[in-house]
Structure 1
């Protein structure tokens, strides 16, 4: 079905015309006016990243309250006051706290400010077995977050001992409710405003960075963002972008995102919170138009396609079809009888085309004369001119003259100016948000470990082992928990085998690395275990918790942020969103230089920075930021580095380069495929047939000609085999002593004449 000379030639023309059409469609679809789409997409992703940070903070706080309650060892003599104090001591974030009877809703104990419980059905809230999600409530015109946790106490034998014991049941259950302010909202990137909105569009919190003003609430963007969030379905990413009013040469762009889980049911889904970010960006006044270039390039390729089609039609297809008819006529004349066969052989074989077809035509005419007895075998010169293989190469070179400039020369994006400044600033802002998210994770690990270390003081070894096992079960980010004595030896361990190679007993607490080599970087949180007077000394003085690097790696990826790396103070990779080796250098030297530019004066944390680097795969939008300016990771000198290929962003200049290159590659691929097809089914068989027919005309009667394909060349081969058999019979007759005579039909025709 794919044989013959027609399909590859027709496919070449049609597919090149398709590539020309795709060139017009692809390049005309690039819009460069006003605000680039990459800027809108960047603002949407910044809002989504900010929403993720807020959701993480809410979920972490809810989890801390639940774990604190779960770890509390209540006794039958526990009172509401002592229980509330034990559950909420040491937490400065609580505005108010209350302990209620889970069945009756009776207030048992309070602390701090009054907890706004209006509208909270305590019995219904405490019922069930799942986690109680936090709620957003209003008190005195201010919105608060309420976090809940169940407190289960053992039953008492004597109900008179505790007036708060349930009248019917075997155990007491209380409900802990704590009130907190909304998690702190941060704006990232100079000139950006971030706002937290409730389901009605009311602004709950605002953060401003640099020279920016919270104008979004007055421009209708907050209402538009709330409507879009409320109308979004659960199967969407619950984020989007908006365009605000224009002021002079600048225009407001905004992004919104729901503070809800996009991967499944979460504790923040029912809060109705929406994050809105906005800033003003310069409006592009000089729009590049690629329509004319697209039409010119497509027109040139269409002309090339038609010219190649005509050239192949007149130089290959038509001569081959004529040769096919001539070979059939010669075969009929060699095997037939009567005047018709004589007439077939009496007509000379015309020589069409050049190269192999011309050689075959001349050899066929020689065979015709040999059949008539007019001549003997004829030798053909071994030196031959260019053939159809050279024609195929010339055709490929003609298409390459169009494709190669498209791939390497035309519409090349300038690395220094292709990426708009707002897109570069967005990459830097998203990198800062990534550092905040990683810092959140590490700080939470340190807080959890500090709580575990505090509960170890003054307890027996068995009790400490149970505490560590429970902590390991509650905090999945740890792979191993162990206690060190003053000499650095491990005295108690739960979980996996420690990866540490550095033996040291640090003071205080924080985050550190405990190895400098190996396949896996060992990042660990550590905290001191205090001694208690009057009790046996603790089994260890420092509690270490090695953080599973997979848990840290899972916090790094974000859509369109690119590759993300966490590096130590020597610019070696500790964690990454892509495959890496422990303690290896960053993959590009430009990234290492970028990290070093973030470093400020000695003793200062440095500032975030960004740049566009030219890599082997094209321009890359890169940014780096110090991991922390305060907290347990501040003195480590760690950085977060991101690199996103510009081709992945909707930047007009990069899109034009990418689509131009794609058109050139497609054109070259189509030409190579179709001309290769032509070479396989036409050129190569023609070369083989030309050699065989010249040998046959030179006297070789032994080589049997087998047709390989069922096409024109196969028919020519079958005809030549019939001619070979006829000539072989003549040669055998001559060797047996009889005169070589032409076919009977020819003798009769000669006698008649």
Structure 2
């Protein structure tokens, strides 16, 4: 018999699948309940840590790039005093804690601004090495950690100078809310910087002081664990095929304290492209974000439903398998044995005819053929009425209905998560804070872009020629992927030098007075233009057009759902999914949410989060306007994000999803096994029944050949052998039936 054919394999497979599904149902549905800390909250903290890691990585890389590019621009021109270099840097960028210029050969400090830098930690003898200018972390006397970045100032005929800048390892513009804390952790697990946890001496009461100590203790524990986990390769730390954050990230659960449990997310600094590395990623830093979450004291896990559903499946599955074995498998095996007996010449005993279906028809045909072989005369029972009312197809349909009776309620009726779903308030808070962080990231990216334009413009004087301008523009365009095109306009709107794509700013007009503006040129995307005045050239300016893909790439964060950037008229400028330029928001309540952030009502702009309930449709939404200084503040943009609560790992939705999955698995198992049985057994069996009756009715010319090497094929072969033993009409006339039979015996 074939290993994949025949009557036994489909029924055995159905039995195994139903038994396995019953076990899965009992375990999975029984374990889903009102968790003390929902999985959605844990995952949200992981995403929060990823946001912090992305922001810190972008800040460090941008800082190093700006310092290196500024030094190259100064080195390309005439020699400039050290004080002038630092003054120019300080007027364009306000990101460094301290800056200094040191003569490399003598170690002399030529100029300094801001905080005192630990210059003694710099080994001037290794600056010529390949990694001599790589940023490094140093610890100050007060215990704080600084990141030192380096760049070379080289002028012909002058000693080589080292430009040094220091950064704190704090997060730029990340929104923590009231109770969250975030930390930067080194490779050894030590906390390098923290935000969100006050110093114990600043707390007035003993209870608050104890709470701060507990938070610090828990954060240190999380930091040590996260540093170990972050050393794993990213491909080994995630499920195969999972996307999202390219580095190592996860979540941790801490101890309970005063009815709350600390939940943390961690993420290492990862490059924006898979397989690459940046200055920041080579530092080996990890971000840990921690928040206390109130546990639900009424949370329980009820396994009764899973056990009942599994028991019902065992009962229905057992009945289904019993019907298949009793009414299909056994009769077919009996026919197989009866046919083989007749081909061996054992014709004395009547054929045991099944009671129902095609097996009954084939059995009756075999009995008629047996009687023809032994020469008995035809009687009224020689051609019995065909029994078609209850065939194998009807039985398959009955079994399908039985299994559907178990699967359909699970898919459509039971454990529905209605409008009473409890969405943790922490999820609404996280949506608001993450949206606010994303807003600040977009604003800072535009401000950094305008600062780059200002830096380039400050080095283009009245005597700078067009070829030199073009060289500077091409260098800037190569170092920063945020620009689509860079060019210099004079007061009349004439392009003096350009790099990248063709300019799309309004032709025939001079540079705009607005530092950053949005232009609708009738194309498929908005045109975001930054302008920085060139000193010494009256009315001339450096203009940079931002790539809209650069803006949209900043918005692609997992766990935030749909994200839109809208202008002060609430027209869409950018998004993390497909959109049309300057289209309206998809709903009026999102419009109201954007307006309610304070941009239009005369209040202080502030982020807001809200939970919308519309029957079973529950949605979390948040909006955050541009706040803070910089050239981008005047845009008046707002970032909105929203997502359905059904996509979150909330217990009610988990139970609903797993219940639906169990129903789908039940239908899949039934369709696969019963369909297999119908194709391999039922259809050939129906065809064989017609052939057997035709043979018994006198059709001696049709050759019977098996379709499959299984029980049906074996019965077919037996009928073919019987056909070959039956005398033809000519033989009957010539020799007589009895003589022919006697000769055979």
- What's the TM-score, normalizing by structure 2? 0.84
- Is 1:173 the counterpart of 2:160? The answer is yes
CA displacement at 1:76 relative to structure 2:
7.5
* TM alignment of 1:261-660, pairs within 5 A: 265-268=277-280, 275-333=287-345, 341=346, 344=347, 346-371=348-373, 372-375=375-378, 384-458=388-462, 459-484=464-489, 490=495, 492-498=497-503, 507-515=512-520, 517-519=522-524, 521-530=525-534, 532=536, 541-568=540-567, 574-578=573-577, 595=594, 598=597, 601-602=600-601, 605=605, 607-611=607-611, 621-628=620-627, 630-643=629-642, 646=645, 649-660=648-659
Write the distance in 1 (CA, Å) between the matches of 2:334 and 2:191: 84
1:49-83 Cα offsets, whole Å, 9 max, x none, are: 22432332233223222211111046786544455
Determine the structure 2 residue equivalent to 1:730: 728
Instruction: For residue 508 of structure 1, give the secondary structure of its aligned residue in structure 2.
Output: coil
CA displacement at 1:98 relative to structure 2:
2.4
CA displacement at 1:12 relative to structure 2:
0.8
- Judged with a 3 Å threshold, the aligned counterparts in structure 2 of structure 1 residues 706 and 135 are, in CA distance, closer, same or farther, namely same
Q: Contact (CA 8 Å) 2:566, 2:572: kept in 1 or not?
A: yes
Q: Contact (CA 8 Å) 1:301, 1:402: kept in 2 or not?
A: yes
Segments of structure 1 that go 5 or more residues without pairing to the other structure are: 156-164, 166-171, 334-340
CA displacement at 1:391 relative to structure 2:
0.8
| Matching residue within 232, 255, 268 for 1:235 | 232
Tell me which structure has the larger Cα radius of gyration. 1
Instruction: For residue 633 of structure 1, give the secondary structure of its aligned residue in structure 2.
Output: helix
Q: Contact (CA 8 Å) 2:571, 2:582: kept in 1 or not?
A: yes
Instruction: For residue 377 of structure 2, give the secondary structure of its aligned residue in structure 1.
Output: coil
Write the distance in 2 (CA, Å) between the matches of 1:422 and 1:552: 28
Q: Contact (CA 8 Å) 2:595, 2:601: kept in 1 or not?
A: no
Instruction: For residue 119 of structure 2, give the secondary structure of its aligned residue in structure 1.
Output: coil
- Is 1:742 the counterpart of 2:738? The answer is yes
Determine the structure 1 residue equivalent to 2:238: none
Q: Contact (CA 8 Å) 1:682, 1:713: kept in 2 or not?
A: yes
Instruction: For residue 609 of structure 1, give the secondary structure of its aligned residue in structure 2.
Output: strand
Q: Contact (CA 8 Å) 1:566, 1:641: kept in 2 or not?
A: yes
1:452-475 Cα offsets, whole Å, 9 max, x none, are: 233335233333222222221222
Determine the structure 2 residue equivalent to 1:159: none
* TM alignment of 1:97-108, pairs within 5 A: 97-108=99-110
Write the distance in 1 (CA, Å) between the matches of 2:416 and 2:83: 72
Q: Contact (CA 8 Å) 1:511, 1:523: kept in 2 or not?
A: no
Q: After superposing the two structures, state which structure 1 stretch, 501-510 or 464-473, moved more.
A: 501-510
Q: Contact (CA 8 Å) 2:144, 2:192: kept in 1 or not?
A: no
- Judged with a 3 Å threshold, the aligned counterparts in structure 2 of structure 1 residues 28 and 152 are, in CA distance, closer, same or farther, namely farther
- Judged with a 3 Å threshold, the aligned counterparts in structure 2 of structure 1 residues 275 and 216 are, in CA distance, closer, same or farther, namely farther
1:577-636 Cα offsets, whole Å, 9 max, x none, are: 4455656666788867765665653466563324367899x8665444335565433444
- Judged with a 3 Å threshold, the aligned counterparts in structure 2 of structure 1 residues 373 and 584 are, in CA distance, closer, same or farther, namely farther
Write the distance in 1 (CA, Å) between the matches of 2:388 and 2:191: 87
Q: Contact (CA 8 Å) 1:482, 1:493: kept in 2 or not?
A: yes
- What's the TM-score, normalizing by structure 1? 0.83
Q: Contact (CA 8 Å) 1:185, 1:196: kept in 2 or not?
A: no
Q: Contact (CA 8 Å) 1:527, 1:544: kept in 2 or not?
A: yes
Determine the structure 2 residue equivalent to 1:135: 137
| Matching residue within 219, 222, 229 for 1:222 | 219
- Judged with a 3 Å threshold, the aligned counterparts in structure 2 of structure 1 residues 573 and 359 are, in CA distance, closer, same or farther, namely farther
1:339-392 Cα offsets, whole Å, 9 max, x none, are: xx5xx1x43323213121122222222333333241289666678323111110
Q: Contact (CA 8 Å) 2:436, 2:624: kept in 1 or not?
A: yes
- Judged with a 3 Å threshold, the aligned counterparts in structure 2 of structure 1 residues 725 and 473 are, in CA distance, closer, same or farther, namely same
Alignment RMSD:
3.8
Segments of structure 2 that go 5 or more residues without pairing to the other structure are: 234-247
* TM alignment of 1:646-685, pairs within 5 A: 646=645, 649-685=648-684
1:3-55 Cα offsets, whole Å, 9 max, x none, are: 11111111111111011111123234436443223323322332332243233
- Is 1:12 the counterpart of 2:9? The answer is no
CA displacement at 1:397 relative to structure 2:
1.0
CA displacement at 1:504 relative to structure 2:
6.6
